[in-house]
């Protein structure tokens, strides 16, 4: 089984709220990866960041996206 299949299977088992958080993190990783082409970021760093975040998401160590927006709105 390839990694994409494993990711999709796991994603299908997650509540929608975690899927949204995972999407935001995946977008963050993609942006970080894109920047790494300019800064030569080690690919292992990206993989390690993903593993840590995946573990946090799967064990409920998350902050609701709505709470993150509240913090940003308070700064304005």
pLDDT digit string (tens) for 12-49?
Answer: 998 988 888 888 888 888 888 777 665 555 667 778 88
Q: Which residues lie below 8 Å from residue 36, measured CB to CB, with a gap of 6+?
A: 42, 43, 46
* 25 within a domain of the structure (yes/no): yes
Total domains in the fold of the chain: 1
* 26 within a domain of the structure (yes/no): yes
Q: In this structure, what DSSP letter does residue 14 have?
A: S
Q: Which domain holds residue 63?
A: 15-75
Global pTM? 0.45
Give 4's pLDDT tier (boundaries 50, 70, 90). confident
* 8 within a domain of the structure (yes/no): no
Helices vs strands, H then E, count in the chain = 4, 0
* 4 within a domain of the structure (yes/no): no
């Amino acid at each position: 089984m390839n990694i994409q299949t494993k990711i999709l299977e796991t994603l299908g088992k997650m509540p929608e709220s975690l899927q949204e958080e995972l999407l935001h993190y995946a977008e963050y990783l993609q942006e970080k990866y894109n920047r790494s082409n300019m800064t030569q970021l080690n690919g292992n760093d990206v993989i390690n960041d993903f593993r840590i975040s995946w573990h946090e998401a799967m064990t409920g160590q998350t902050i609701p996206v709505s709470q993150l927006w509240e913090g940003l709105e308070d700064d304005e």
